[in-house]
Amino acid sequence: MSTVNLGLIGTGPRGRVYVNAVKQLNEKTPDRARYLGVCDLAAEKLAAFCERHELVVDQVADSDALAGRDDIDGMVICTPDFTHHRLATAAFEQGKHVMVEKPIAIHPDGARAVCEAALKANKVLMSGFVLRYDPMSVKLREMIQGGAIGKLLGGIVHEAVGFHHGASYFRRWHRLREFSGDLLLHKGCHTLDLFNWVTGKLPRRVSAFGGTEVFLPRDDAAMVCHECKVEDCIHREELPEEEPEERSASSGVGSLPIDACVYNVDKDSTDTVFLVGEFEDRVRLSYSMTVTSQLDERRFNFIGTEGEIIANMSRHAYGMHIRRLPEEEPEEIPIEMPEGGGHVLSDVQLMDDFLGRIESGADPEEDIQFAYHSGSVAFAAVQSIESGSTVDIPQL
């Protein structure tokens, strides 16, 4: 099989992940893939990235020129969310396969444009939905679609974002919809995609309630922690002596001091959402996202006509069990958490899958509905919160 030639756009933490993933896959299958070019708007960062990863490649600032190279098969796009739609459609227009980080776009028109471009180019579209590869997701999908709890009635899903983690988004570009679409999309799309993926059902309409409920402006707080007199603030951040070399997802846009006040910064993202969604085949979802939990957790309760599956996909409480009717005792489903938590294995599996689909000439239509709908509940929820109405989800 010939080597898959790749171009990479974006040299932040996710760019690093996909460079390392290719290295690991090449250890198993020599010369399976290689990067021919890497692009970043920040020239110094790009040069340092290539040196650190020993990448002897074309270093470019113009992503279109990279995507236009005839010898490149696939583009890996790891830039901030608001750039995905343009970069992905441009790559499809150049006839490339595309792996674009999640979400595929920050608005519904962008998601449609990306999917239509993939279909028109007849090329593979994948996005960074690593949770699909978690052993728990694989088991849930097998059990639910295999009828383990009868006909699926719906699911209750809680995205409990840990309070430190939640606050961190409000010091970065994620707090502004022009960059992230909303935290519900940026953060929630992983879990919402997983619900689609595990159940095999696609969303039809959504009603949502929410807003910025936690990080509201405070008169008693300053704009930065080192000038603030609120000593007992749980989000007080000490300034480090030196700016960290690779500040996660900083990338310049909407960037703030490390100790910016999460209450007083400008923002228009929600931090609290409760929604109800209706899916095909009368499957329903009740989903919530909050940012006030001690620890990050994804809690799932799938309810069918013949029982329930209860699952917790978090590092500290990883596990799932089934309660079948009419038995009373819950049955543990043995599932081993991947070493190091979710990402370590899944990132490599995602790249393996992307390369595999290019190598096998997979039909791009196979997964396109799931790619399109990966953000559609979040898009509709944001619209519903603003309009106060139930929102029908446009279909592809």
Binding site for ligand NAD (CB under 6 A): 9-15, 39-42, 45, 63, 78-81, 83, 101-102, 128, 130, 186, 248-251
**CB of 49 or CB of 263, closer to ligand NAD:** 49
CB atoms within 10 A of CB 295: 14
Residue (84 or 373) nearer to ligand NAD, CB: 84
Q: How far is the CB of 64 from ligand NAD (least distance, A)?
A: 10
User: Cβ of residue 115: shortest distance to ligand NAD, in angstroms?
Assistant: 17
Q: Are 311 and 319 in contact (CB under 8 A)?
A: yes
Give the residue nearest to ligand NAD (CB). 12
Of 188 and 307, which has the nearer Cβ to ligand NAD?
188
Cβ 97 to ligand NAD shortest distance, Å: 18
In the complex with ligand NAD, the residue whose CB is nearer, 193 or 271, is: 193
Could you give the maximum distance between any two Cα atoms of the chain, in Å?
A: 64
Burial class (CB in 10 A: 0-12, 13-18, 19+), 23: middle
CA 138/CA 142 separation, integer angstroms: 6
Handedness of CA 68, 72, 75, 76 (dihedral sign): negative
Task: Report the residue number, 200 or 341, with the smaller CB distance to ligand NAD.
Answer: 341
Nearer to ligand NAD, 188 or 277 (CB): 188
Cβ neighbours, 10 Å, residue 57? 18
At its nearest, how many Å lie between ligand NAD and the CB of residue 247? 8
**Is the peptide bond prior to 103 cis by the omega test (within 30 degrees of 0)?**
yes
Torsion of CA 26, 32, 36, 38, to 10 degrees: -50
User: Nearer Cβ to ligand NAD, position 186 or 235?
Assistant: 186
Pairing of strands 74-77, 4-9: parallel
- Shortest Cβ distance from residue 350 to ligand NAD (Å)? 8
Q: Which of 107, 66, 112 is nearest to 90 (CA)?
A: 66
CB of 267 to ligand NAD, least distance (A): 17
- Is cis: bond before 80, omega within 30 of 0? no
- CB 284, min distance to ligand NAD, A: 27
Element spanning 378, H or E: helix 376-387
